[in-house]
Amino acid sequence: MLKGKTAVITGASTGIGKAIALEMAENGANIAIIYIGDENLAVDVKKQAEHFGVKAEVYECDVSDFEISKAICEKIVADFGSVDILVNNAGIIRDNLLLRMSESDFDAVISVNLKGVFNLTKHLSRSIMRSGCGRIINISSVSGMMGNPGQANYSAAKAGVIGLTKTTAKEFASKNVTCNAIAPGFVVTDMTANLPQAVKDYADNSIPLKRMGTPEEIAGVVVFLASDKSSYITGEVIRVDGGMCM
């Protein structure tokens, strides 16, 4: 489905990003794995991806840093020759009630979760446009659609991702580049594993499908949006939330 394409995935060493990277590799895409932190986790994803016969490389990058992101994007284009697909998945949480939230925690989440999307999109846009059928997929959240107590920073960033997605879709459409967002609900990852059991129970009971999603269920939608089968979809926000936000 994606044979011969090159995809860049941020936050690709764990969780949803890892599932996206491996699903894309399984479907034939060469992948650039952007991570920060534990290099061993990223290298493990690279090795798993290479089992599918594709090219995979790892790049450590703080996506919130404009100049560092630019340098890494230039290296990726040099290493792969071109980029066709960008998946902006990197994200952090610094949860607290608004009255208790520090400025630094607000700024950190906005910088990674929103500015990081801007940085990678800007720095890779020319290569993606040259592909003739580029795809940009941004991972937002249902928190950005309906808000969530304790997540003023995260909800604001993810709502901003939706606005950025729609603007990017309008600006890039003339180059046959589509840009869409996915809004996951509760997904079983290391991030949600640390939630109090009471919160997990509430989530399960409030979701019509009565369970959390899996990273692979998000990855399947990403691959669809990256493929030619989604060529007439742009500026859309697709919820993958078990009916939580309908």
Q: Domains plus CATH for the chain? A: 6-239 (3.40.50.720)
pTM of the complete model beyond 0.85: yes
Q: Is 96 exposed, middle or buried (0-12, 13-18, 19+ CB in 10 A)?
A: middle
pLDDT at 8: 98
- Identify the active-site residue in 35, 59, 154, 202: 154
pLDDT at residue number 151:
94
Give kind and range of the element (H or E) at residue 31. strand 30-35
pLDDT in tens, the chain (246 residues): 899 999 999 999 999 999 999 999 999 999 999 999 999 999 999 999 999 999 999 999 999 999 999 999 999 999 999 999 999 999 999 999 999 999 999 999 999 999 999 999 999 999 999 999 999 999 999 999 999 999 999 999 999 999 999 999 999 999 999 999 999 999 988 777 777 787 778 777 889 999 999 999 999 999 999 999 999 999 999 999 999 998
Distance CA 145, CA 138 (A): 14
Instruction: Pick the closest to residue 135 from 44, 27, 13 (CA basis).
Output: 27
Closest C-alpha among 229, 221, 242, 243 to residue 24: 221
Question: How confident is the model at residue 203, as a pLDDT?
Answer: 77
Q: What φ, ψ does residue 145 adopt, rounded to 5°?
A: -100, -30
Annotated active-site residue 154? The verdict is: yes
